[in-house]
Structures are given as structure tokens and as C-alpha cells.
Structure 1
């Protein structure tokens, strides 16, 4: 009898502990951290500090939500999407399902389930800055919601990139390509995930300008659980449908994240949450770069950010916590997430990252060059041009060799230390053409769109120094995007 009571007591304690660790969306001290793009690795050529296995970041209780970044192409080969998680998993490094361009990342299933077992949410972030995430019709949006349900969530399919792991929901980080169809997509996803034994979450990462050009309508039409506002501001706040400049220019530079800006942002979003959102309990997270190398501007140190959020947390009942870009930057910056968590009232003990690299199923040649002398055919292949932005699969010739881009790149010399290019061997035929323009690509379209935004800002009265946006460079990307993970200006 005593033994049975002890066993029951132990079981009860274990159950209580698991319940205590479970994700609670009603709290105001949650930390969401994007994972997948190896942002810190861009500024640090030493592979030992690159993005580690997902499971490595789940060893303590600091981070509560991991949106996996990104599913960046909605409709690709075979009608299925594409995902790219930099050095962790990509179609180049991990292989694809037959007849598709969908990377096979099933080795991540164990890590995903281990993180979930610790009470963390692991969701899938759609979009990013590539602009290839869009719908041509509501019918297409409905079909895509079905696809996401079947291959990532609670449905069934023979092509499940994360194997038998069932993700906890979907995050929308739509920064290009258009806004049509997303209300239909989100509503269909809500229908598929409702009344299930498992709770599924729907989140979004709108830009700071309100309303968001791509997500504003869907946020007003569909109940979201949380919004991770990209509040790291370059230049001016664009608060309403008219341009309102806040702050004073100092030598052409505007202030970044500060208490006044956070109050402005939360005033607007708190009002939205309580008067416009279909879910009056939606939580608003303040987004911030996790280090100075995580964004071109907008970073504030842990003490400053902690002070800001602790002062504003009690003022807004919709406040949910802080979102960081990204996991590699968080750990590269002395666990800024833990410092902010403590500032929000949490008491956390951190654990260091293991020294292991990504799973052994990822080839060690992922970021190195391979050579097959004599196999390259350069007929009709343009010469490499440092001014051209290339995407994965683009081919060039350089130093009489054929090179194939592994992912987005610009100004990374083939054969150089960045390891962006795969050497196809010595050219067997001479170069027939010379590159004169960037290849047509989703990312090139985004670059073009940024120019349009700049012109729009100037037209609406923004100073040129504020409106100017530098085109993305090689330092901005690894996989799909890294340093400039979020775009801060939108036409409103």
C-alpha cells in the first residue's frame, strides 16, 4: 500500500511538473525565438558558432516558442512547397522527396518532439523576405492550407518533411508577394485545426508600421493567438495611413528601440487587440534583434531592452512577451533572452550549448566546396559577376570552372571562404555569355520592391536619409535571410 501511494505521489509530481512547463499563451513573460537561418553564422566564419541542432536550444526553460524559418516557396516542383533552414536542413544539403523540391528533414523529428516534451511550441513560419509566398486565388489558398495540415500538422501524407513530428501551429511572416488569399488560408487552417485533442496556434509577424501592408486585413479577419511585432525600427515610425515621423534626426540617423517607441507601438496594438482582433485575448509580443549582427539597425542591449519591457508589461494586458531573431544570435550574445526573461519576472537557469554540430545526416560538405575536375560544361553559362544576386541553383563560370550556387548570394567569390558555391569542375567549353543583369528570382523581386517602398516614402514626405534602404548584400543572408531578417518599411 505504501509503495503504491509513493508511486502515485511520484506520478502526481511528474504530472504537475509537466503541467507547469506547458506553454501558456495567457502569460506576459513568454519568449519566442526564430530558428533555422543561422543568422550568427553570417558574421562568424567559424563553424563552431554556427546554428546547432534545434534540440540544443531546448535544454532550459527560457525560450517558449520556436517558429521554424522558413517555408519560403508555397508552390514548387510537384505542387509542394520548399523549406530552407540554412545549415540545419535544405534541399541541397538534405535531399528532397522524389519529384519535388521539398527538403527531407525527417531527422529533425526527434528534436522537435524533445522540445515539445519540455512544454515548448514548435511552429512553422511561412514566408520570410523572399517574396515567393503568395496565392493567385482563394482556391489555391484553401488547397495550400490542406497541404500544410497534411505534411506538417495533424494530417497525413507520404511526404512529411519532419516525419511523424506534429508541429504546434503556423506563423505568418509575409513580407512580399501580395496579400490576397491569406484570409482564406488562415480561415481554412483554423477550420482544420479546430476541435482537435491537440491545440494548434496561429501567429503572425507583422511589420511595425500599422496596419501591416500584407497582414493587416487577415489580422482583422481571423483570430490569431499572438502577433510578434517586428518593432526594431529603422528610421521613422509609420503609425497610420499617413506618414507620421517620430523622433529627431541626428546626422541623418533616427533613434532605434526606446521606451517612447515601445509605448507608441503597444498603445496601437493593445487598442487593436481589444477592439479589432477577432480574438480579444490575442497576445502582442515586442520583436527585437538578438544582437548587433542580427539586423542592420535597431539593436539595444539586454539591460536596456529588459528595462523597457518590464516598464511596459504592466500597462498593457495584451502584452505577451518578447520575440527575438534568431536562436543563433541569442546564444552568440550571452543569452540576451535569459536576461530579458528575468527582467519580465521569470527566474531562469540557463544551460550552455553543447559543442555538437548539426545532425550527422547533414553532409559535412554543406558549407565547403567540392571539386570534380573536368566535369563542368560552361557553354551558355554566364561569368560570375560580383554585382549580381544569385539564388540556389544558379550557375556561373569563374576561373575556368563551373560553379553552382547553394543558396542566395551576392559578392561571394566562387571558391571563397563563404562556401556558397559548389565547384562543378574545369570548364569543358568556353563561356558563351556574360551576365549583364541579376537572374530573375523571388529575391530580386523583393529588392525591386524595396526600391518602390523607398520612392513611396519620399513621396509621402519622409527625408531621403530615412527613406533610403540599402539593397541586400551577401552579409545579409545565409540560407534565405539572416541579418536583415525582417523588413521594416511598408507602403501604407
Structure 2
């Protein structure tokens, strides 16, 4: 499909009133990262499939595309994305490291218009090394370039990897401390809010130790996020530290993050999603089968900020038959863990040090790195 044809499809979708899949007032959202082929199969059914394949899954609501890992230092001054094996049909814009991805662009439009999914672009990842921005003004300029590149089309001079396709927002997944992260995020928020033609989302993906050192500049009441996808794995506070049947959890700290949501966050109605590995090999520690996740999900439902489950990642989930469906069923279950101490309690906000995620790195076909958790 050409960009011209895709534009026609996009206009028809808009006329038909296509809606996004992320429902902030719901507790059964399933967010599944796509783009890194984390399971590691190069071909066959267990290799990462096209984006639209996962959008066709009725149990998935939101898909962050991972990752955009260079914001300002890419060749030709252009941002750089990487989608592992699914970028093999992309081409490079001349003189840049920016991909032009017709197939992914087509799938974004299909996901939004046909399957009513929310498609985010995840920025950062473990291989992001720029360290942020030299000044608030530089951060704001970078946000404006991101918006022009991936938001609504503004002019013909801007290089756009996805042509007329417009993402539904940005997910900020920074693993190391960022300079001037808040001005960058806040400018993205301003630009999204100025466009009233559709709903956009700004999310972040901190690790579970509170506070998250990498994202704290944004999370410390400075940036209005719609939701955060907390990585409850690879750390002492992961889902594997949950004690079934206990109203007070010593290490599993969803309660602490709920307190953050209501007392620190710039958005007092911000939603929190429970981030889990989708398979035993998706993280260093923290994987649990669905049968063990059920009681944890029931516990988290007691908190007003809870809005569903995030999982890493699509390839891992599909190699783990029944995982996505099982998580969705657990979210839809009316079972919860009623305790007198949960609803109105405020957990103390401590200070902890996070453990980095476990990731590996290899080389992709067109010379860009292909990243795998």
C-alpha cells in the first residue's frame, strides 16, 4: 500500500469515528509491547509477527512500539527507531538513520481503524544513551521534532517513518537518568493537548523501586501522565515478592505507587498498570504463570489507580500459549482481595535503588542494532 492509499484509509477511519482501545476508567486494559522480538526466533510462528497480527487479538488493548532509541544524535539529525525483524521491509531515508516503514505504517492504520487499538511509540529502552538534553529549550525542540515526525502531518519537508499514520501517543521508557526530561515530556503533553481531533496518551514505564531514579524528574509531580506501566520484575519489589493472602506486602509495593498516584503525581487520576514478564525468558526475575498472577491482580484491584496489566512482550506472550487470554480473564474476574487497610491507606514513600533490566544485543539486517530483553 502506498502512502497515498494509506492516507485515504486513514481519512475513512476518521470519518467512521474510530476509537482508541485504552480505557483509563477500566481495570481490564492489557498493554503488550511490540517491536523487539524478545523471544529471539528469527523465523517461523514464534518469531515476532507483523504489528497487525497482535492488534487482531481481542484480548490486547494497547501496543507500545519499542523502541525509538536515539532522539537527537541520529545520523542527519533524525531520530532512530528499531523494530528488530519487523524492520526488514523498511528502507532508510537517504543520509539519515531514520527508517521509512510502509508495512508498519499500514498496520498502524489497520490497528486503529479496524481493531480499535491504541498504538504508542515507546522512547528510550536500555540502549538509549543520550542522557537527555543540554537545556530545557533543546528538550522542547526535540519534542517538537518528535511530534512533527510521528504526530499529525504538518508539512512535506518532515521525514515521517509512518507517512500519514498518526500514533496515539508516546511512552517514555528511560533506564538511566535524563537531563531536562520534564521539559521534553511536558512539551509533548502540550502538543498532544492542542490537537483536539483525537485522544492522545502520555505514559511512562518506570521500574518498581520507588522512586524510579531514571524517571523521577518527570514523576515527581512535574509531568501530567495518563498512565504508567510499572515494571514489577527484575527487582526485589517484583510480582514474585508478593505474599498471597497478606493484606500488607513487605516488598511488593503497588500500594506505594498508588500513594504516589494520589499524592505526588501531577495527574491525581493517573492510572497504574502492573508490568509483568510474559514468559519465563522475558526477564531475569519476576515471571509468574497466570495462575499465580490471579491473586496479585485481585489484590491490585483494590487500589483506585489500578487499570490493568502491561506485559513484555508480544513475542514472549505468544510463545507462552494462553498467557494473554489468562491475564485478560483474571482482569475481567470480579474477584478481589477485600481488606480494611487498602482503600484509604497511604503507604510511606521510601527510597530504593533499582536493578537494571536484563537485555541482550545483536545486529539487525540493515545495519542497525536489534535489541532483545
Q: Same fold (TM over 0.5)?
A: yes
The 5-angstrom pairing of residues 154-233 of structure 1 reads 154-157=152-155, 158-176=158-176, 178-195=177-194, 196-219=196-219, 220-233=221-234
CA–CA distance in structure 1, aligned partners of residues 100 and 278 of structure 2 = 29
CA contact (8 A) 2:124 2:175 kept: yes
Q: CA deviation at 1:346?
A: 6.3
Instruction: State the alpha-carbon separation in 2 of the partners of residues 170 and 346 from structure 1.
Output: 30
For structure 1, which runs of at least 5 residues remain unmatched after alignment? 1-14, 239-253, 348-459, 484-492
8 Å contact from structure 1 (residues 257, 298) kept in 2: no
- Over 3 Å counting, the alpha-carbon distance change for 1:190 and 1:262 in structure 2 is farther
SS in 1 for 2:123: strand
Asked if 2 retains the 8 angstrom alpha-carbon contact of 1:225 and 1:283, the reply is yes
Q: Does 1:345 align with 2:342?
A: no
Q: Counterparts in 2 of 1:89-488, with a 5 A limit?
A: 89=87, 94-117=90-113, 118-133=115-130, 134-157=132-155, 158-176=158-176, 178-195=177-194, 196-219=196-219, 220-234=221-235, 236-237=236-237, 256=241, 259=244, 264-313=252-301, 315-345=302-332, 473=360, 479-483=369-373
Distance 1:255 1:475 in 2: 29
Larger CA deviation: 263-272 vs 63-72? 263-272
Q: 2-side partners of 1:217 and 1:474: how far apart? A: 28
CA contact (8 A) 1:37 1:479 kept: no
TM-score, normalising length from structure 2? Answer: 0.80
How far, CA to CA, are the matches of 1:479 and 1:279 in structure 2? Answer: 36
Counterpart contact for 1:294–1:482, Cα < 8 Å:
no
2:61 to 57, 61, 64: 64
Distance (Å, rounded) in 1 between the aligned partners of 2:242 and 2:47 = 27
2 CA distance for matches of 1:305 and 1:262? 17
Alpha carbons of 1:237 and 1:30: their partners in 2 closer, same or farther (altered >3 Å)?
Answer: closer
Instruction: Give yes or no for contact 1:233–1:257 (8 Å, CA) kept in 2.
Output: no
Larger radius of gyration between Structure 1 and Structure 2: 1
Deviation per CA, 1:144-201, whole angstroms, max 9, x where unpaired? Answer: 101111010124253110111000000000012x321111011111111114221110
Checking the alignment, whether the CA contact within 8 Å between 2:38 and 2:315 is kept in structure 1 is: yes
What residue in structure 2 maps to residue 81 of structure 1?
A: 79
Instruction: Give distance in 2, aligned partners of 1:307 and 1:34.
Output: 23
Q: CA deviation at 1:475?
A: 8.6
- Taking the aligned partners of 1:321 and 1:123, their CA distance within structure 2 comes to 16
Given that residues 74 and 132 in structure 1 are in contact (C-alpha distance below 8 angstroms), is that contact kept between their aligned partners in structure 2?
no
Map of 2:9 onto structure 1: none
Mark the CA change 1:306 to 1:81 in structure 2 (over 3 Å): closer, same or farther.
same
The change in CA–CA distance for 1:264 and 1:297 in structure 2 (over 3 A counts) is closer
Measured against aligned partners, the alpha-carbon deviations of 1:367-391 in whole angstroms (never above 9, x if no partner) come to xxxxxxxxxxxxxxxxxxxxxxxxx
**How many angstroms apart in 1 are the aligned matches of 2:251 and 2:319?**
28
For residue 202 of structure 1, report the CA deviation from its aligned partner: 0.1
- Give the alignment's TM-score, normalised by structure 1: 0.62
Ranges in structure 2 where 5+ consecutive residues have no aligned partner: 1-15, 335-350
Distance 1:470 1:340, change over 3 A: closer
Is the partner of 1:194 in helix, strand or coil? helix
Contact 1:26 1:320 in 2 (8 A): yes
Structure 2 CA distance for partners of 1:265 and 1:290, relative to 1, 3 Å: same
Confirm or deny: 8 A CA contact 1:302 1:339 kept in the other structure. yes
